[in-house]
Structure 1
Amino acid sequence: MTGWDISPGGVQSVISKVREAAGDMNTGITLYGQSVQGAMEAAGTLSFGGESSGSHGRAAGLVAVALGKFVEGTEKDVAFLPLRAADSANGAVEATNAYLAGDLEQAWNAQHHATLPPDVTAFLEKARSKADGKR
């Protein structure tokens, strides 16, 4: 801890860039979700019992099911990216503020906490419940 030499202006510059990139990631993730949803809808359906129109006797097509399973299997990885960026940026700010206040132990704790993996499961559950409330 005694070898720290933090430039608050440099930290702020990097944090600004990280937050901008995280915003771009969130935009990209939204577009990804919309694109997958569109692809699933365009992939067609399977027809059962000779039905030719309407939703009766129809189920999601194999491609749509595969896309859905892919999204389900990768959602934690996708959600991890912006959470990791946000946690790292916030940890850098907290560590810098503690360093400037002369509390190196608190700075180390903030830095260490920022290296821990974010709780993606809790984030996804919260996002789902929020989305369910809008439906």
Structure 2
Amino acid sequence: MDWDIKPSGVQGVVNKTITAAEGFQKAGASLETALPAAQKNAGTVTEGGFRGGEGGGMGPIAGALGELMTFHQNRLARISARTEASLNGAVNATMAYLQGNIEQAENAQREALKEPQIDLPGAGKGKA
């Protein structure tokens, strides 16, 4: 199998992926701020009408927002973990590839610098 990995290409993809992943981090931060605020202000339905969430219990909208927050936190955490593992894998594989190339080059150079073994026909024959 032939491999031709271009480290600069891998670095470019890794950088673009990091930039895209920052969007998920921003989305997660927004959810952590916006949903609890919305949950707090969703209020509840009580006897006699609507009452704000400040002093009342949690109503169905606030409960649903809490479940939404939990669902998206888990999804974003999984996306983040998978992205990080993928990026680390790409970087580690590229480094191993480069290290392998360096080892091959070192081996080739070492072999080229060895004292040549010359085996001339008839050399050493007839000596006892």
Q: What TM-score results when the alignment is normalised by the length of structure 1?
A: 0.62
CA deviations 1:20-59 (Å, max 9, x no partner) are 11122101210122111121112013558xxx8973xx31
* Contact 1:22-1:86 within 8 A present in 2 as well: no
Alignment partners' CA distance in 2, 1:86 and 1:79: 11
* Contact 2:44-2:58 within 8 A present in 1 as well: yes
1:71 aligned onto 2:69: yes
Q: Give, as a single letter, the amino acid of the residue that structure 1 aligns with 2:78.
A: F
Q: How many residues align?
A: 99
Percentage of identical aligned residues: 34
Secondary structure at the counterpart of residue 60 of structure 1:
coil
* Contact 1:44-1:60 within 8 A present in 2 as well: yes
CA deviations 1:88-111 (Å, max 9, x no partner) are 1111000000001118xxxxxxxx
**Structure 2 unaligned regions, length at least 5:** 102-128
* Contact 2:43-2:59 within 8 A present in 1 as well: yes
How does 1:69-108 map onto structure 2 within 5 Å? 69-102=67-100
Q: CA deviation at 1:63?
A: 0.3
Q: Give, as a single letter, the amino acid of the residue that structure 2 aligns with 1:32.
A: L
How does 1:20-59 map onto structure 2 within 5 Å? 20-47=19-46, 55=55, 58-59=56-57
CA deviations 1:54-96 (Å, max 9, x no partner) are 73xx311210011112222343212111221111111100000
Change (3 A) 1:28 1:75: closer
How does 1:102-121 map onto structure 2 within 5 Å? 102=100
Q: Which residue of 1 aligns with 2:3?
A: 4
